[in-house]
Amino acid sequence: MNRLPEDFYLRTDVLQVSRALLGKVLVTQFEGVHTAGLITEVEAYRAPDDRACHAWNNRRTNRTEVMFREGGTAYIYLCYGIHHLFNVVTGPEGTAHAILVRAVEPLEGIEIMLQRRKAPLPESRLTTGPGALSQALGLTTAWTGQSLLLPDTPVWIEDRGRLVSDTDIAAGPRIGVDYAGECAAWEWRFWLRDSAFVSRKK
């Protein structure tokens, strides 16, 4: 296991970290069950200037407090009362930057994922979409604030040597942030261009 180190997350440019996250492997292990998926699609959110960010204008609330923590922390919140959306906090403590993981390619524990999701599902839809992948990997809001760095955490991210070059990465506007004014046009969504495991076609 080659868990990403603190330095990976502490970089100040959340867009750079977002790109670097593509091709890494998101792993969960709890109650004796192991699942893993290769990260294929992400979105960056960045306070204070980004209106689409929950912590826009550096707004601190009970929910957003986690976003201000040190990079390498999980930020998970409930969306539409149903979906648990998983984010990775980046940057030093005091800045509210986070990366939403929108899709992964299933690697390990696929039978478990099918059970957690609504089987039967085609594998192409098992973990594509932020709510879908969280359900497949067993990620819930119970883990918001959880470290990805400490030993024996239930969730972490690994580097397994998959090489991703800039030409492998496509960028476009983020999904579902039309309310965010001009920020909605920022191309802060990144995905592996050739992956079949992306939440929506371009």
Partner DNA sequence: CACGGGATCGTCT
Partner DNA sequence: GACGATCCCGTGT
Q: 3-state DSSP: the chain helix, strand, coil percent, rounded to 5?
A: 25, 30, 45
Give the separation between CA 69 and CA 14, rounded to whole angstroms. Answer: 14
10 near DNA (CB under 7 A): no
Residue-by-residue DSSP string for 118-130: TSS--GGGTSBSH
Site string for DNA, 56-95 (x = CB under 7 A): ---x-xxxx--x-------x-xxxxxxx-x-x--------
Number of residues written out for the chain: 202
Q: Measured from the CB atom, is 77 or 112 closer to DNA?
A: 77
Q: Measured from the CB atom, is 22 or 177 closer to DNA?
A: 177
CB of 77 to DNA, least distance (A): 7
CB of 71 to DNA, least distance (A): 15
Site string for DNA, 94-123 (x = CB under 7 A): ----x-x----------------xx--x--
132 near DNA (CB under 7 A): yes
195 near DNA (CB under 7 A): no
CA atoms 173, 10, 142, 50: torsion sign: negative
